[in-house]
Amino acid sequence: MNLATPYLGLELRNPLIASSSSQNGDIDHLRRLDDAGIGAVVLPSVFQEQLEAQQSDFESLLAQQPNHSPEAESYLPPIDSGPYGLGPEHHLALVMRAKRELSVPVIASLNGSSLSGWTRYAALLEEAGADALELNIYFVPVDIEEPGTAVEQRYLDVLGAVRQTVKIPVAVKMPPYFSSVGHMAKRLVEAGADGLVLFNRYLQPDINLTRMELSSELVLSRPGEMRLPLMWTALLAGRIEASLAASTGVENVDQVLKYLLAGADTVMLAAAILRHGPTYVRTLLEDLEAWLESRRLESLAQIRGNMSWSRLKKHDNYIRANYLHLLETFTSAHNA
Ligand SMILES: Cc1cc2nc3c(=O)[nH]c(=O)nc-3n(C[C@H](O)[C@H](O)[C@H](O)COP(=O)(O)O)c2cc1C
């Protein structure tokens, strides 16, 4: 069965990618994902806050460029310390070690919210051997004086700064909160994004009624959350010149298939690996092959994008017209 998948100009053995997560900071975990057949891995993000808090370490690494970290590989991240507490040099060591020990592409991840010097860290990740970079521009536009155009420009500026720094492919993990998601996707691609991850999953706070305070617990996704990225994957597939990675809500092969049918090049998963462990990747791949075999299909190309906007002749289900129809059907079914 041919599951080979191009993503960001890289050749993946299959479309499954381990999404950026803290677990991916552990080299043993990464090795298990590789053994289970994962197509590529995204390392835990290096955060703007980390780089700014450890400015002097970061500056001295930059100053030593191109031979910035001759000893970096010996500073391997201890298994018991989380990746987000580690300094700039440790992340480079993780990239180097992952590159040395894994058979699949290693994508580094940078996470920040505004344009400043931290974006220069991208060059160090490239030099450490990252095959590609995922850029997660995560911020909540709380300033109600800031217009949407300024918010959009911020994304483009940060991407532009990173793009100027590296030659490796860059994917933007974008949020779904733009007034014109498709147009923003197009502008990101025009500004140099080789791929888009649809979407970044923002962690909105809840209110704890007992303690009468805000709570920010990390709740893992459920498949129901895939509808928004599924829709935008389908709307954008074949219409922009970039790879598309669908992300959020993958629990079993059904979600993988839906994302591929919508037109995703690759499908990312974090929660499913956390819930079931890295060997679950093997199960997903077997289930994917079994599904294709049961329909006498030989490659993913035969299904990829078949449900996308650009392939379908009827678009009712993707646009507003369908809303009224659904309400009518629902109401008559419940009144019957
Ligand atoms: C424990 C944990 C750690 C995560 N760390 C990162 C991170 O460092 N950078 C990032 O861009 N996303 C991070 N994410 C978000 C995931 O990459 C992914 O976008 C999100 O979990 C939705 O995918 P899922 O439904 O497959 O879990 C993290 C998610 C979890 C659960």
Question: What are the chain's domains?
Answer: 5-305 (3.20.20.70), 312-336 (no CATH)
Distances (CA, A) of 307 to 246, 292, 312: 14, 16, 6
Name residues of the chain where pLDDT drops below 50: 68, 70-72, 74-80
Which residue's CA lies nearest to atom 2 of ligand 1? 21
pLDDT at 76: 44
- Ligand 1: which residues within 6 Å by Cβ? 19-22, 44-45, 109, 111, 136, 173, 201, 218, 220-221, 247-250, 269-271, 274
Q: Show the tokens assigned to 322.
A: 């369908």
pLDDT at 256: 98
pLDDT at 63: 80
pLDDT at 82: 59
Q: Show the tokens assigned to 112.
A: 């920040």
State in Å: Cα 328 to ligand 1 middle.
Answer: 38
Residue 28: CB partners within 8 Å, gap ≥ 6?
A: 79
CA dihedral sign, ordered 78, 82, 85, 87:
positive
State in Å: Cα 21 to ligand 1 middle.
Answer: 5
Q: 36-61 in b/e burial notation, b at 16+ Cβ within 10 A?
A: bbbbbbbbbbbbbebbeeeeeebeeb
State in Å: Cα 19 to ligand 1 middle.
Answer: 6
Instruction: Tell which atom from ligand 1 comes closest to the C-alpha of 272.
Output: 26
Which residue's CA lies nearest to atom 25 of ligand 1? 248
For residues 280 and 275, give the distance between their C-alpha atoms in angstroms, rounded to a whole number. Answer: 9
